[in-house]
Amino acid sequence: MIPYQIDDGTRRSRIYYGLAVISVALASVISAISPYIPFKFAAPSAMFFFGLLTFSFDRWFWKMTWFHRMTEIPLIEGLWAGTLTRNADQNGLAQTSQVALIITQTWTKMSLVFEGQNSKSHAQMIGLFVENKNDVILKWVYFAKDNSGINPNNLYGEGTTELTLRSNETRTLRGIYYSSKLRKGAVDLSESNA
C-alpha cells in the first residue's frame, strides 16, 4: 500500500492534533496513578500513546461510523467489477472487456489493483478529491503488466485513470483512462458484494 493524497489536508491535521492531545492526557493520567499501583512499572510516554492511537485510527477506528463522519473520506475498499471500453481503433471498432478493481484502504494508505483478462496494473500514485461530496474523484497513475504470457511486450505500459464515485442504489465508479500506448477509453465499475 502507498500513501494517498486528499485535497482536504486540514482535516487530517486536526485529527493528528486531537490524537496528540489525547496521548498527552493518557500519559499524564497513567503517570499520576502509577505510584498507587501495587507493582512497579514504567509509565508509557505520550509518544507511545500517540503511536498506538495513530496506528489504531489508521487501521480500524476511522472506519467506525462516528469517526468516519469526522474524516469525511469515503470508504471505497473492496472489489469493484465492470467493463473497460477502449475507444475505436483505426478500423472503427471499440473493444469492451470485463475488468475488476481491488481496493485496499486505510485512513492514510491505499492499494489499487486493476485486472483485466490480459493485463494487471498497480497504482504508483493515488489522489482522492473529496472537496465536492457529490463528485468524489479517484485518480491514479499506474504501471501495467502482461497477464496472458502470449505477447509480453504488448501490454506493458503506464497510464492514468480518473473515476468519479456515485452513490445511488448501488455505488459506481465511472470515468476514463489513458495509457502510454496512446489508448484511451471508458471504465464503468460497480461495487461487488463478492
9-33 vs 46-59: helix axis angle to the nearest 10? 130
1 within some domain: no
pLDDT tens-digit readout, 92-117: 777 888 999 999 999 999 999 999 88
Cell numbers placing 156: 506493458
pLDDT tens-digit readout, 54-81: 999 999 998 888 887 888 888 899 999 9
User: Looking at residue 108, which CATH number applies to its domain?
Assistant: 2.40.128
Based on the fold, state whether residues 89 and 62 are members of the same structural domain.
no
Residue 153 has pLDDT above 90, yes or no: no
Cell numbers placing 163: 473515476
Residue 82 has pLDDT above 90, yes or no: yes
- Residues in Cβ contact with 187 at an 8 Å cutoff, skipping those fewer than 6 apart: 82, 83, 84, 85, 99, 161, 163, 173, 174, 175, 176, 177
Residue 149 has pLDDT above 80, yes or no: no
* pLDDT for the residue 19: 93
32: number of CA atoms within 13 Å, CB side?
A: 6
Which range marks the domain in which residue 162 is found? 78-191
Based on the fold, state whether residues 64 and 85 are members of the same structural domain.
no
Based on the fold, state whether residues 87 and 56 are members of the same structural domain.
no
Burial class of residue 57, CB neighbours in 10 A (0-12, 13-18, 19+): buried
Q: Which residue has the higher pLDDT, 91 or 145?
A: 145
Cell numbers placing 138: 479517484
Based on the fold, state whether residues 98 and 50 are members of the same structural domain.
no
3 within some domain: no
- Write down which residue in 54, 71, 88 finishes a domain: 71
Whole-number Cα distances in Å, 188 to 79, 112, 173, 184: 13, 16, 6, 13
139 within some domain: yes
Model pTM? 0.83
Number of structural domains, the chain?
A: 2
